[in-house]
Amino acid sequence: MATSKVNEISNEKLQAYIDKAKVGLAGYGEGGVFKRNRYQGIDDATDIIKNRKHPITNPKIHDLRHMSHGEAYNHTQVSDHIKDGDILHVKGGAGLMYKAWPVMVKGESDAFHHIKDGANWDSFSHGRYKKAAELARRLKDDEDNHHVEESEME
């Protein structure tokens, strides 16, 4: 499945692809060996439908400016409070959690991950993190105000 045109494919067509691929896999036995490309296609199509149906709309903002970026990264890996799509306010910028990985949205970091050059948050992961990235970009850098104003969130 070509990922470059994936946003043009309806959820119904993706679901039909998943169903067709599952039928094609039935002959390989339960728990058996699947062809990697076809099985991966099912995973990809399932993720696309999930991300379209469940965009991140109300992320928590975590103030981690008292930590270095490396300490903030490590904290995201052990904290039960930081979830997928949450915003990470760090010194000199902001990031967000993409699944289990902190990714910079605003500013620079040697510790956090970055999306590929040419990618943007509007289309990254089929738009799931678009709202969270918009909020992260609007965070204030001053010491007293680490939250986005309520009026800015609507």
Lowest-pLDDT range of 20-29, 40-49, 60-69, 108-117: 20-29
pLDDT at 35 over 50: no
More confident residue, 65 or 20: 65
The confidence score (pLDDT) of residue 126 equals: 76
Task: Please return the burial class of 84, using the count of CB atoms within 10 Å of its CB with bins 0-12, 13-18 and 19+.
Answer: middle
Average pLDDT of the chain to the nearest whole number: 76
Mean pLDDT on 26-39: 41
Q: pLDDT per residue over 91-103, tens digit each?
A: 999 999 998 999 9
The confidence score (pLDDT) of residue 33 equals: 37
Token pair of 150, please? Answer: 């309520």
The confidence score (pLDDT) of residue 130 equals: 92
**What single string gives the DSSP state of each residue in 92-136?**
TEEEEEETTEEEEEES--SSSB-PPTT--TTTGGGGTTHHHHHHH
